[in-house]
């Protein structure tokens, strides 16, 4: 059991997850795609609980990409209503357990009622200091980076500054994730080896973990296995192994 083998001194503080494979899970079980997403929501709840128990500080879940708006209308509507209802229901409990909700993404595409419902949970949990669950909703990383550049240019228009002094931090402060540390670990399920426009800036030095497990089947043990795997790696950030060992 990987859960028992974890080093509790080296739990990552931020784990990001590309929850992929709901559609294939549904197909495999002869069920409609939305049933796959509903089972996916249950797996997400499980992972959030495990993250909370392990003392992870941030978990970012890729729930809906900007590109997902191009899916058939029935699937988009079904996913939106599943996301809204799951967040409202699950956070009833989670808020009491000191869990905070944040979202990242372009909320201008969201229906007014979806936005209101989710903002309600974000506001109600704003003072919580335990695990932060970040839902990437209507999110695209290139769009985030482009928007950050626009924000910087606008700032410059309002109050010119020395462009050559711009730092990585100045830029990162204009991303949706300004208040969130970069993930140490990125997990993608379902045997796909892609990043799919997710947190391109933020995962520069993240450890990547891929598994064939379809998202609805991703269990607490699977999550612990990913963290265990992460704990076996040496993170060098461009340095040599000897330098890291001497630190
Ligand atoms: C990818 O599977 C999954 C999504 C596009 C949606 C993710 C949503 C959930 C897991 C549901 C709820 C989540 C929360 C946070 C409450 P896919 O449809 O691309 O699968 P496929 O590649 O097998 O077709």
Neighbours of 150 (CB within 10 A): 11
pTM for the model? 0.96
Task: Tell which CATH classification among 3.20.20.140, 3.40.1180.10, 3.40.630.30, 3.40.50.2000 matches the domain 13-231.
Answer: 3.40.1180.10
Which residue, judged by its Cα, is nearest atom 22 of ligand 1? 21
DSSP-assigned states of every residue in 205-220? T-EEEE--S-GGG--H
173 catalytic? Reply is no
pLDDT at residue 120 in the model: 96
pLDDT of residue 237: 85
Average pLDDT, 10 consecutive residues per value, the chain (247 residues):
94 98 98 98 97 98 98 96 95 94 96 95 97 98 98 90 92 97 98 98 97 98 98 87 88
The beta strands (E) that lie in the chain are given as 14-18, 58-65, 100-104, 132-139, 185-188, 207-210
- Residue by residue, DSSP assigns 26-43 as HHHTT--HHHHHHHHHHH
Determine the pLDDT at residue 79. Answer: 97
In this structure, the residue with its CA closest to atom 24 of ligand 1 is: 23
Q: Which residue ranges have their beta carbon within 6 Å of ligand 1?
A: 19-24, 37, 40-41, 44, 61, 63, 68, 82-83, 86-87, 135, 190, 215
φ, ψ of residue 58 in degrees (nearest 5) = -135, 135
């Amino acid at each position: 059991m990987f859960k028992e083998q974890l080093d509790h001194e080296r739990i990552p503080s931020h784990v990001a997850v590309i929850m992929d494979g709901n559609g294939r899970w549904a197909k495999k079980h002869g069920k409609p795609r939305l049933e796959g997403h509903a089972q996916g929501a249950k797996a997400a709840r499980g992972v959030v609980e495990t993250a909370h128990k392990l003392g992870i500080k941030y978990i970012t879940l890729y729930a809906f990409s900007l590109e997902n708006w191009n899916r058939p209308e029935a699937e988009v509507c079904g996913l939106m209503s599943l996301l809204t209802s799951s967040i409202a229901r699950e956070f009833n409990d989670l808020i009491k357990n000191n869990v905070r909700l944040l979202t990242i993404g372009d909320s201008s595409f969201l229906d007014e009622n979806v936005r209101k419902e989710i903002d309600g949970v974000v506001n109600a949990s704003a003072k919580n200091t335990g695990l932060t669950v970040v839902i990437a909703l209507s999110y695209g990383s290139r769009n985030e980076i482009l928007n950050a550049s626009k924000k910087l240019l606008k700032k410059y228009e309002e109050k010119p500054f020395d462009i050559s002094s711009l730092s990585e931090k100045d830029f990162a402060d204009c991303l949706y994730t300004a208040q969130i540390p970069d993930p140490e670990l990125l997990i993608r399920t379902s045997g796909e080896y892609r990043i799919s426009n997710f947190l391109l800036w933020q995962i520069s030095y993240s450890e990547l973990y891929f598994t064939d497990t379809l998202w609805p089947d991703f269990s607490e043990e699977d999550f612990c296995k990913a963290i265990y795997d992460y704990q076996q790696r040496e993170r060098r950030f461009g340095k040599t192994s000897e330098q890291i060992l001497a630190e």
